[in-house]
Amino acid sequence: MTDRSTPVPWAHEQVEGARGDVLPVLERVVALHRGDAELTTPRKGVASLASGQLGEGTPYPLQLAPAAIMMISVAVKFFILHVESGTPVKGP
Amino acid sequence: MTSTNPTSETTRPGDDEPAVRPLQPLLHDSVVVLRAPTQAWSAEDGDIGATVIHGIYHGDTRVAAGLRVRVGDTDPEAVSVAPRGATGATFVSLVREIDGHGGADPRVRLERRRDVSAGSVVERLTLSSGVDHTIETSLVVELSPDFSTMSSLKAGIVDGAEWSGEPIEDGIVISSGSVTLRVTAPGAVVSTADGKVRVSWPLDVPPHASESRELCVAITDESLVVVAPRGEVSWRAPEGTTSDPRVARWVAAALADLDALRLALPDHPDDEFLAAGAPWFFTLFGRDSIWAARLLLPVTTDIAASTLRILARLQGIAHDPESAEQPGKIMHELRSAPLTIPGEGVTLPPVYYGTVDATALWVTLLADAYAAGMSELAVTELLPTLRGCLDWIIQPGDNDGDGFLDYVDLTGHGLANQGWKDSGDSIQWRDGRLAEGPIALCEVQGYAYEAVMAGARLLEALGDGRDDTQALRSWAADLKRRFAEAYWVETPEGRYPAVALDAHKRPVDSLTSNIGHLLGTGILDAEEEGTVATLLIGPSMSSGFGLRTLSTEAAGYWPLSYHGGSVWTHDTAIAIAGLVRSGHLEQARVLSEGLLTAAERFSFRMPELYSGDAADEFSSPTPYPAACRPQAWSAAAAFAVQTAVTS
């Protein structure tokens, strides 16, 4: 989170309403966002969506399909280990 | 009751839909009726739901994906749509299947009168009969709540959210998260099924008579960061002396669109700005709001003054690479939530500062608004913000210390290009290679020169106690000298300023519309301005419908390339204004005639951009199918043209 209290030479109150109370809702969202420093992405994708350029489409479903398939094997293993450890899978 | 969104075109993983690649929806053949922050996109018959772009939107949420009207069991056949300004439209359809009078001409028709205000869509349905017997039928409206996010829809993905409904007298209240729809239809039977709201009126239409019913969708969203401004517009069309009727028609349409694009921030509802454009950009953009207000100065200084104040409140105060914020910098884009790109794990902050030009443009708007009549008191209140802008231009605006304003995205997931040509392939060499950043755009140096000189004049006139205006002028003079040394190139197309310097300080040699922005800034001398003026109206740059973004002689030229050959309305208008300012009226009129020809083809609602095809080969410009319309700076371009043709 950025220190928003850093003074700057021309900081002022002449414009009615200080920045900090302009948009309380927005400030909360900013705080939430800035907590995540691990975001990475191909910049071209961002540019085409943030601008009005006709996008190339997104590979979202195609990317997620293999991930979903991989999740199935993990879920099966988890289920087997869960049963073998003697933990009931349903309540009494 | 609770429902998801069964009518959606969703392609989310886990659904039963095939794994197809979603595509950004096209807009060019849809009808929009709007009053920011609310907009309704439909087909020409008024029905909503045939394509992904269709819907009722409020802020960044599509609250309804469908609105379909039937007469009994019949789908009306559309015959016309008549816009009523920006905020209304009347759709006319025939209902031949229940006509039954035996004559040749259709005698039963349905009028759908749609009116959009901030936070509501009203649909008045009138069935008119010219037959000799009573028509016994029903009017049925199916509304499909949705709650998809704007950013997902732009990617072609419908991510509608769950909603719940609560019956009320004459209607139903639908809620999803922070959004509430209050659907009322007096006299109707309202029910829900399959995730849709069904509104049905039994209807008896006497011989040679009409019957009307009305549906109202009222929308509230407590999370919105933009709201409708409190006041009405006070502007009037500027008087011009031209016999060209196209000018007056474009000016009238532009003022209606600009009125409908007015927005404010919740804490200062009296200060308004112009939303960038429909549908995607119903929010505050630094660059767009400034240019639109600047082009609108012949009409009013009020929008300029309030836009300056709004952006001043959001002026950067800290260094934050994630949001590209720097002390003194004017912001780029405001959203109510982080901009997320589905499937990419990408998030841009809701206040994003990734713009290299908005800060200098803020200063030029302040100076021009003062010259146009903005009050001295209002300007004086903004002098501290002016100081911050000037400090940013001279120091942090130059990332690599070479004395030119440039940009580079330090995060790897911000905007790769931070000038107005912000697409990934917008800055390219004549041979088609993409330029490598940091990029120092030519027009930004012009903006900076003009801003620092104008800022010095304002400080001298209104004073803030610091005696440094001579230093500012010296900095600007040095920038002008270095620009002349570094930017000019000579190619088979002639001698002109390069579009930019690349990472290695090499002038990127393509001939582009960017050089039109230099005219009148003062960074060129009179002879250089004459050279640029001549090139702008040459056959490789002037299409006959406006100014191409990239010369047809460049390897990367393509008429429907977003920034590599298309014509942008505002870009042409800025060049026209610069030609007028630099005394090249004949060239200004050539480009103005191009825009007027295009405006007539687009029914005087100029889109954000369109094809760069030549007018002598195409009778009408081909739409860029994703272009916003109305777009604030495209509408405001009308006043630059009006000035040019009446000068």
CATH number, domain of B422, equals: 1.50.10.10
Residue B239 resides in a domain? no
Residues B257, B203 within the same domain = no
CA–CA distance, B601 with B603 (Å, rounded to integer): 6
The answer to whether the CB atoms of A8 and B323 lie below 8 A apart is no
Identify the band that residue A73 occupies on the pLDDT scale cut at 50, 70 and 90.
Answer: low
Residue B439 sits in which domain range? 245-646
CATH number at residue B138: 2.70.98.10
End-to-end CA distance of chain B: 64
CA distance A75 to chain B (A): 16
Nearest-Cα residue of chain B relative to residue A18: B313
Residues B258, B158 within the same domain = no
Residue A36 has pLDDT above 70, yes or no: no
Identify the band that residue A15 occupies on the pLDDT scale cut at 50, 70 and 90.
Answer: low
Peptide bond into A66 cis (omega under 30): no
In the A/B pair of chains, how many CB contacts fall below 8 A? Answer: 211
Residue A22 has pLDDT above 50, yes or no: no
Residue B546 resides in a domain? yes
Q: How many domains does chain B have?
A: 2
Residues B469, B397 within the same domain = yes
Nearest-Cα residue of chain A relative to residue B409: A43
Residues B284, B206 within the same domain = no
Residue B212 resides in a domain? yes
CA distance B214 to chain A (A): 35
User: In this structure, are residues B105 and B129 in contact, taking their beta carbons and an 8 Å threshold?
Assistant: no
Q: Which residues of chain B have pLDDT under 70?
A: 1-20, 101-102, 240, 339-347
The residue ranges of every structural domain in chain A are 59-86
CA–CA distance, B249 with B86 (Å, rounded to integer): 14
* Residue B265 touches chain A, beta carbons under 8 Å: yes
SS3 at position B510: coil
Nearest-Cα residue of chain A relative to residue B381: A14
- Range 627-646 of B in CB contact (< 8 A) with A: 627-628
Residue B231 resides in a domain? no
Going along B186-309, which residue ranges are E strands?
A: 189-193, 196-205, 210-221, 262-265, 268-274
Whether this model's ipTM surpasses 0.95 comes out as: no
Going by C-beta distance under 8 Å and a sequence separation of 6 or more, which residues neighbour residue B428? B434, B435, B508, B510, B550, B554, B556, B564
* Residue A69 touches chain B, beta carbons under 8 Å: no
Residue B86 resides in a domain? yes
Chain B hits for A37, Cβ within 8 Å: 322
Residues B117, B254 within the same domain = no
Residues B166, B264 within the same domain = no
Q: Which of B24, B363, B622 to mutate to test the interface with A (most CBs of A within 10 A)?
A: B24
Residues B490, B360 within the same domain = yes
Say how many C-beta atoms besides its own lie within 10 A of residue A85's C-beta: 7
Residue B235 resides in a domain? no
Q: Which of A2, A16, A26, A71 to mutate to test the interface with B (most CBs of B within 10 A)?
A: A26
Residues B201, B260 within the same domain = no
Residues B215, B319 within the same domain = no
The H-assigned helical ranges of A19-87 are 24-34, 43-50, 60-84
CA–CA distance, B94 with B99 (Å, rounded to integer): 9
The answer to whether the CB atoms of B336 and A57 lie below 8 A apart is no
Residue B221 burial by Cβ neighbours in a 10 Å radius (0-12, 13-18, 19+): buried
Going by C-beta distance under 8 Å and a sequence separation of 6 or more, which residues neighbour residue B286? B311, B330, B331, B332, B333, B355, B358, B361, B362
Residues B265, B340 within the same domain = yes
Q: Residue B475: name the closest of B365, B360, B369 by CA.
A: B360
Chain A hits for B416, Cβ within 8 Å: 43-44, 46-47
* Residue B323 touches chain A, beta carbons under 8 Å: yes
pLDDT at position B349 is 84
CA distance A74 to chain B (A): 17
Residue A25 has pLDDT above 90, yes or no: no
* Residue A73 touches chain B, beta carbons under 8 Å: no
pLDDT digit string, tens, across residues B565-593:
999 999 999 999 999 999 999 999 999 99
Residues B352, B309 within the same domain = yes
Q: Which of A27, A44, A54, A69 to mutate to test the interface with B (most CBs of B within 10 A)?
A: A54
List the structure tokens of B219.
Answer: 């929308």
* Residue A15 touches chain B, beta carbons under 8 Å: yes
